[in-house]
Amino acid sequence: MTKLSVNINKIATLRNARGGNIPNLLNAAKDTERFGAHGITVHPRPDERHITYNDVRELKQVIKTEFNIEGNPREKKFVNLVLEVKPQQVTLVPDAQGQLTSNHGWDTLKNKEYLKEIILLFKSKGIRTSVFVDASVRMIEGAKETGTDRIELYTEDYARKYDANKEQAIAPFRRAAQCATELGLGINAGHDLNLDNLKFFRQQIPHLLEVSIGHALISDALYFGLENTVQMYLRQLK
């Protein structure tokens, strides 16, 4: 079964909008695990507008499943945090400072030497690495040369085109996944996956190990409740 890692950034956004500790981020993470999620994802940004660096440290103490930290390793503060916390997985994302949300993958050819260096550092500490990439065979071939364990397919383009023509939308992701599998790379995916498009994506992408879903899942939880929503997403992955 493809694993579900729930990104809880939006819960922190809601908390930060008012100050204080409502909703309680740590309790939300523990409940999300208890409701069946296979992991927790966070993406701390330099401005700490949602997940704070201290949140990451506190979450490490309570998470019993897999902890996945996303971020741009060009931020020294981020690298130091990952090395301190030692999550099971770090996902490298090429976000610019102040960027609203992730909107592109790495150019693994232009950034190959840098990625090789930072991936070697994380792997030397026993942290599994994943590189955020577009559904491009060339970028996946470049990712292989960096030494990463996995790639995470950036799925916004699939989600945007899904309603108009799902076969056309999935085609480049099928090719990308086949390339990754042939190269021995694990496959994760994330961004704009939701209850409408997740099942088809999972069915069409062999060897999909993990999806990371935040915005859509937390939004659905406002209507369906967190426990029910986690179960709904898990059913899409079976």
Q: Which residues contact 113 (CB under 8 A, 6 or more apart)?
A: none
Catalytic residue among 33, 50, 66, 70: 70
Question: Is 167 an active-site residue?
Answer: no
Q: Are 151 and 133 in contact (CB under 8 A)?
A: yes
Q: Beta strands 150-154 and 186-190: pairing type?
A: parallel
Q: Are 153 and 176 in contact (CB under 8 A)?
A: yes
Catalytic residue among 33, 50, 152, 191: 191
Element spanning 28, H or E:
helix 25-34
Question: Is 191 an active-site residue?
Answer: yes
Catalytic residue among 43, 50, 152, 210: 43
Q: Which residues contact 47 (CB under 8 A, 6 or more apart)?
A: 97, 98
Which ranges of 75-224 does DSSP label H, i.e. alpha helix?
76-85, 112-124, 137-146, 156-162, 166-182, 198-204, 215-224
Active site residues: 43, 70, 191
